[in-house]
Structure 1
Amino acid sequence: MKKKLLSCIDCGDDTEILTQVSSAPEIKLLCSSCYNVKYSIELQAHVSCNKKNKK
């Protein structure tokens, strides 16, 4: 039986540390670079929405 190598779902990198981003039966992993890009953008959008709502 061949072992399936895990890699980033966005860029396919399998050399960086991978972070699990799903809790579904199918494991979804992001490398640290893709994780930082994805979640920093979402965090920035959330913060800007909060600032607009406070005005």
Structure 2
Amino acid sequence: MIEYRVSSFCSAGNCVAVGRTAEGYAVADTKDGSARPLEFTVDEWAAFVAGVKNGEFDPPIS
């Protein structure tokens, strides 16, 4: 069983949760417990986190 963590910014149950798996990480939708979580390898997760830190997913400045 995956032990998920939810952000402290989560409100009204409309959140995502992240948990460790044997192969890497899983991301689940907190409002739909029956949905299968998205799974990522350690390398995929590291690339995503690096992209977030580098601002790759920030909206464009207009």
Structure with more helix by fraction: 1
Scaled by the length of structure 2, the TM-score of the pair is 0.39
Scaled by the length of structure 1, the TM-score of the pair is 0.43
Q: Which has the larger radius of gyration?
A: 1
Structure with more strand by fraction: 2
